[in-house]
Structures are given as C-alpha cells and as structure tokens.
C-alpha cells in the first residue's frame, strides 16, 4: 500500500524554511545516488519553518541484503505533496515520534518512521501561536487521491476509492494513475536463509516458529509461514517456491501455498500481497492459541 523505506534509509535532510514548500534529499541503501524531493505543503507545527536532519539504521557499506531489490524503481526525484511530517515534539498534532510521509507523483505514498534520537531540528520553528494545525481534511484528500490512483492502475473506477475522516467520506478525484501498482519482494535472500525447509518443524505442532508474515493490505487474509523449500524442474532449476504455514482467511487452517500464487494475488482494490517488515518470530500457539492450546490443555488434564 505504501513504500515503507525506513530500514533502507542511511541519512537525509528536509527543509520547510520556505512556507508551503518542502525540499530536501535522502540517501538509501541499494541506491547509488541521493533521492531529492520538491513538494507542496508544510511540516507539522512542532517543526514548521525549520529544517530537519536525520539518520537511518542502514549503512552504505553494509546494506540490507534485499535493499537493491526493494528500492528498484524508486524515483531519484520526487514531486507531489507533503503528507504528515513531524519530529513528534510538542505540540503533538499527530504522533509522538519522528514520522515523514510523502505523496509522490512518481511512486505514490512513501512513509518513514524513526526514533527520536535519529532526528535533529535545525533552526527555530515558527512559534506555535502563529501556526494552524495541518488540515486533516487535506491529508484525507491526499490519501483518497493516492487510493484513487491505485484503483485506476488496477482497472477499477476511481470513485471506489474513499478515505474516512471522522464523519466525512472523502472521494478521490479523477486522475490517471502514472504507473501500475508495484508488488514488494515477498521472499528475500535473507529470509531464504532463515526459513527452515519443508517438514523441518513438522513434529513441533504449536511450538513451530513462524518466521515470515504475509498479508493483503486491502482485505483480511494473512499467511504465517513456518517452512519453505524450492520447487525444481528435472534439470534442477528452481521454478517456484513452496511455503507451509497457517493461513488466516475465511477460516484458520494449516496448508501449502506457492510463491508464484501469492505474487499473483490481488485484493479487492487491486493491491498485491505485502511482507510484514517488522515481524518478529512467534510460535503458532502464540498466534492461534484456540487451535493449538486446546489439545495441550486436554493432555495436561
């Protein structure tokens, strides 16, 4: 649904010194050149009229293994509108941590979330008493337009895309999408190394560990993957990848699914499946105690 690029961010700088305008640059792992921004809009009141410098967790000399693959297709220059951009300082009109959102004409919605220690405010923001809070109606319109673009890319009418803001229902305006909705990489090289082969956790039952979570952002389906192995042809060439895990859709059940099948799935709004970038391994019984806890309780009794 959005480019969530926090884990690939090396460093960057954004400025709102010129009212109504946000400019700056960011350096990402997996990209040789800096990415520049020239956007319409303002920071939130905590940093409006100032400049922010920030540092991410990624390093150019030791990038995440999937950095180049994930950042492929990310534009080097972005125009569009500034979404919610805040350092999370008082007055907290949005969140209490650094957050930067961009509605890019080139790549759609881009989101970065950081820790307070990762950001520095340069200069003195405009006094709060002289600034109005960012319009939630305008931000909802930005989101509705973003959803409308994705709907158009998926061949759906733009009017099906709306954003709910309080009691208001904001509809996207008619505008042709600039590019097709891009799916993220579901199985990275790093995950291949972590994921046990098929049947490796077969005897563990509810103690089997889920290493990978996949989900549809526009519906309620989720895949909790415990194991996986390549599917090879007669020559030994890999032609697909087979996962096993807990599928939570119409009901919860254990089963197999192919990577190619997941890559082809689109939700009601045409959105592809996403990988949970912040997933921490958990056991099946932690995720679905109603499926695995009952049998153990009966045994103990």
Q: Rounded distance, CA 99 to CA 176, Å? A: 28
Closest CA to 111 of 101, 121, 119, 120: 101
Positions of E strands within the chain? 3-4, 9-15, 21-28, 35-40, 51-55, 77-86, 99-104, 108-113, 119-122, 162-165, 168-171, 209-210, 212-215, 222-232, 238-248, 252-258, 274-275, 282-283
Query: In the 8-state DSSP scheme, what is residue 264?
Result: H
* pLDDT value, residue 177: 40
* pLDDT value, residue 301: 40
* pLDDT value, residue 154: 55
**Per-residue confidence at 45, pLDDT binned at 50, 70, 90?**
very high
Given a cut of 90, whether residue 300 has pLDDT beyond it is no
Domain limits, the chain: 3-134, 189-300
8 Å CB contact between 274 and 184: yes
Query: What is the reported pTM?
Result: 0.57
8 Å CB contact between 114 and 8: no
Q: Rounded distance, CA 195 to CA 210, Å? A: 9
pLDDT-wise least confident of 6-10, 135-139, 278-282: 135-139
Span 135-192, pLDDT tens digits = 777 777 777 666 666 565 555 555 555 454 444 444 545 444 444 455 677 888 888 8
**Residues 256-281: what's their mean pLDDT?**
86
Q: Say which residue the tokens 């979570």 belong to.
A: 213
User: Residue 46: how many CA atoms within 13 Å on its side-chain side?
Assistant: 20
Given a cut of 60, whether residue 219 has pLDDT beyond it is yes
Given a cut of 70, whether residue 98 has pLDDT beyond it is yes
3-state SS, 66-131, equals CHHHHHCCCCCEEEEEEEEEECCCCCCCCCCCCEEEEEECCCEEEEEECCHHHEEEECCCCCHHHC
**Per-residue confidence at 28, pLDDT binned at 50, 70, 90?**
very high
Tokens of 164: 């709910």
pLDDT-wise least confident of 25-29, 123-127, 266-270: 266-270
């Amino acid at each position: 649904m959005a480019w969530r690029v926090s884990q690939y961010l090396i460093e960057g700088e954004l400025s709102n010194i010129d009212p109504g305008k946000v400019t700056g640059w960011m350096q990402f792992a997996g990209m040789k050149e800096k990415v520049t921004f020239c956007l319409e809009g303002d920071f939130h009141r905590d940093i409006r009229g100032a400049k922010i410098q920030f540092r991410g967790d990624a390093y150019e000399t030791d990038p995440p293994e999937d950095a180049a693959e994930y950042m492929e297709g990310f534009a080097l220059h972005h125009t569009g509108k500034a979404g919610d951009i805040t350092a999370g300082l008082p007055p907290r009109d949005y969140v209490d941590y650094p957050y930067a959102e961009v509605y890019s004409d080139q790549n759609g919605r881009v989101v970065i979330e950081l820790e307070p220690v990762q950001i520095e405010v340069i200069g003195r923001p405009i006094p709060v008493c002289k600034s109005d809070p960012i319009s939630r109606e305008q931000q909802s319109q930005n989101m509705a337009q973003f959803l409308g673009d994705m709907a158009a890319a998926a061949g759906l009418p733009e009017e099906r895309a709306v954003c709910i803001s309080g009691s208001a229902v904001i509809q996207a305006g008619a505008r042709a999408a600039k590019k097709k909705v891009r799916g993220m990489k579901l199985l990275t090289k790093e995950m291949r190394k972590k994921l046990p082969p098929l049947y490796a956790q077969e005897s563990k039952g509810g103690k089997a560990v889920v290493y990978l979570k996949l989900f549809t952002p526009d519906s309620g389906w989720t895949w909790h993957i415990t194991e996986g192995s390549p599917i090879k042809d007669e020559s030994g060439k890999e032609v697909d990848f087979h996962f096993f895990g807990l599928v939570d859709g119409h009901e919860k059940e254990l089963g197999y699914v192919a990577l190619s099948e997941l890559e082809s799935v689109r939700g009601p709004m045409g959105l592809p499946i996403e990988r949970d970038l912040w997933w921490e391994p958990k056991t099946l019984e932690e995720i679905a105690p109603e499926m695995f806890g009952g049998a153990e309780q009966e045994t103990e009794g």
